[in-house]
Chain A
Amino acid sequence: MDRNLTHRNRRRGLKVLHFLALFLVMSIICIPGLWIVVNSFRPTVEIMAKPPVWNPSFSLAHYRAMFGGAGEGGVPVFSYFRNSLIVSVVSTAIAILIGMSGGYAFARYRFRGKSNYFVGLMLFRAVPGVALSLPLFIVFARLGIIDTHFGLILVYVAMNVPFTIWLTDGFFRQIPKELHEAAEIDGCTRWQAFWKVEFPVARSGVASAAIFAFLTSWNEFALASQLTRSVGSKTMPVGLLDFTAEFTINWGGMCALAVLMIVPALILTFIVQKHLIAGLTFGGVKG
């Protein structure tokens, strides 16, 4: 009986430990983001207060400044938001079309050097953005497409294609071959078989690949910071730096813009999460 008791105590102890560890991990994940959100609603005086004020008051000053035209320090947030949206949506749409056809080729056809093609594509993705930005900056300047939406869209399409191929390859592979064979026996062409049978099955997977591509473009900084210069094409990650002057930083304004950046991303994450994991693991494990 004594042994039973110590055993039970040990188990209870482990349970408490497990809970504590989990709680710690989750707080470390959540607190930095929440802190940004909380501070976007606090007046600047309170953010800068020394000693710190611990119970936050509520003010919409930063949002009002951000959306009220030019905003504090003249940061044109609306233009940045629009640029980000245009560039991300268009580049995602193109990347998905190109990536889907590539992914389909990898999933359905056998050809020589298949894995080499695949790794080759991935290696292009591995080129660091900063390193790529140097020659792109020069080439784009010569072509006159620096500081335009078109240039940035082109770059983001190239950046998203390899990963889209990886994901869609995984999704198409999960669909049994018999499905499109049956459709072809019933008189569909391969093209029709794809759009009428295979695409609807893989649709949710493709959608999550699209959301992933969208987020990559939405969040990208290294290339955008060099390839965009003016209000007409700067995206939000680049615009975030507008709040920093040489020695002063508008913390509250930055927090507000950060919230504006992260809200769409979080909403999309909720939608995508299940398929994303499935796509990555299927593409990787069952290759």
Chain B
Amino acid sequence: MFRRRLPEWFVLLLPAIIVMAAVVLIPLLFSLYSSFTAYRLTRPSSLWRWIGTANYERILTDAKFWAAFGRTVLFLTIVLNLELILGLGIALLVNKVTWGQRTLRTVLMFPMMFSPILVGFQFKFIFNDNIGLVNNVLQSTGISDAALPWLVDGKLAMFSIMFAEIWMSTSVFAILILAGLFAMPRDPLEAAKVDGCTSWQTFRHITLPFLMPFIFIAMTIRSLDVARAYDIVQIMTGGGPARRTELIWTLMSRTGYVDARMGLANAMGYVSILLSILFTIYFFHKLSAARAQLGTGG
């Protein structure tokens, strides 16, 4: 029979594989094809006009695209590093607390459960130059006389978006690193104390190596949805002012849905997919390396 020839694990995995193929793989193949055509939403027949790599050439020579691409990479670099450092700091702070730790941990999880679109809206409200909380506080306390144009000035807008992003995602790091700290064996720490290590040495040579796999889990989970930043930018500034906060994802969605140039947008989509996949593969690789290290080290 058919059933007998297929191994059990494959039968168990089959539904997952079918769903992923139908909803992700096939549309992606379609978009790969359409990225080589001059497809416009408004003219369906243009789907069959094969133009080779013209879309990709166009992207690669487009200054706007490179600006968005560079900004995205810069954004991710700054945001991910800060999230890691802040997350580590928060985890260490909470780990030292002697009572109410559970409550603090629950509070830490709140931002994780906020919808990115909600985070965007929340900070759009708070950073609003006219009625926002930040400006109201600054002006009422007399720190600043004039209203700061948080979402109108290019640099400040980028800062606000990064703040929102970091607010939302630092807790992923904090929570997982905290889990690592809880799981840490006490003996090596005490041995280090007996041997006269300073607290910095203990942290650097015992705590941090032990936490590494947990940090990589957090990084891996985070790298799976770096593109959530799209939601935040979309609602906070929509890529403006004058494209100062345009990330690759907002540029793509504008090209696809507003300008209706699907072929070109799909070509951009592929660049962004490659970016995400590189991130994910890199961290999975690191994760398995850290795992192997942990396995041999105890």
Residues on A close to B: CB < 8 A? 18, 21-22, 25-26, 28-33, 35-36, 39, 47-52, 54, 97-99, 101-102, 104-105, 108-109, 111, 115, 117, 119, 121-139, 154-155, 157-158, 161-163, 165, 190, 215, 218-222, 226, 237, 240-241, 251, 254-255, 258, 261-262, 265-266, 268-270, 273, 277-278, 280-281, 284-285, 287
Contact = CB atoms under 8 A, between A and B. Distances in A.
A15 to B, nearest CB: 9
B136 A52 contact: yes
B230 interface: yes
B30 interface: yes
Contact of B9 (A109, A128, A277): A109
B237 interface: no
Nearest to A222: B230
B20 to A, nearest CB: 5
A128 B230 contact: yes
Given A123-B280, A280-B221, A102 B110 contact: no
Contact of B104 (A26, A31, A102, A157): A26
B109 interface: yes
B113 interface: yes
A136 B27 contact: yes
Contact of A26 (B16, B20, B107): B107
Interface in B23-37: 23-28, 30-31, 34
Interface stretch (B60-68, B77-85, B88-96, B200-208): B88-96
A102 B27 contact: no
Contacts of B287: 284
A153 B82 CA distance: 35
B7 A36 contact: no
Nearest to B164: A32
Contacts of B220: 122, 284
Q: Looking at chain B's contact residues, is the secondary structure mostly helix, strand, loop, or mixed?
A: helix
A98 B93 contact: no
Contacts of B106: 269-270, 273
Interface of B: 7-10, 12-13, 15-16, 19-20, 22-28, 30-31, 34, 41, 90, 93-94, 96-97, 104-118, 121-123, 125-126, 130-131, 133, 136, 139-140, 167, 171, 175-176, 179-180, 183, 213-214, 216-217, 220-221, 223-228, 230-231, 234-235, 249, 252-253, 256-257, 262, 265-266, 269-270, 272-273, 276-277, 279-281, 284, 287-288, 291, 294
A99 B14 CA distance: 10
Contact of B117 (A49, A124, A237, A255): A237
Contact of B16 (A99, A137, A220, A278): A99
A156 to B, nearest CB: 9
B227 A222 contact: yes
Nearest to A140: B27
Contact of A221 (B108, B117, B130): B117
Contacts of B96: 18
Contact of B90 (A25, A219, A268): A25
Contacts of A254: 121, 125
Q: Looking at chain A's contact residues, is the secondary structure mostly helix, strand, loop, or mixed?
A: helix
B12 A105 contact: yes
A50 B13 contact: no
A277 B179 contact: yes
Nearest to A115: B288
Contacts of B94: 22
A240 B234 CA distance: 13
A35 B133 contact: yes
A50 B131 CA distance: 7
B9 A105 contact: yes
A14 B256 CA distance: 54
B20 A51 contact: no
A120 to B, nearest CB: 9
A36 B133 CA distance: 10
Given A132-B27, A222-B231, A240-B121, A284 B217 contact: yes
B291 A18 contact: no
A108 B1 CA distance: 24
Contacts of A130: 227, 230, 249, 252-253, 269, 272
Contacts of A241: 235
Given A47-B131, A134-B31, A277 B176 contact: yes
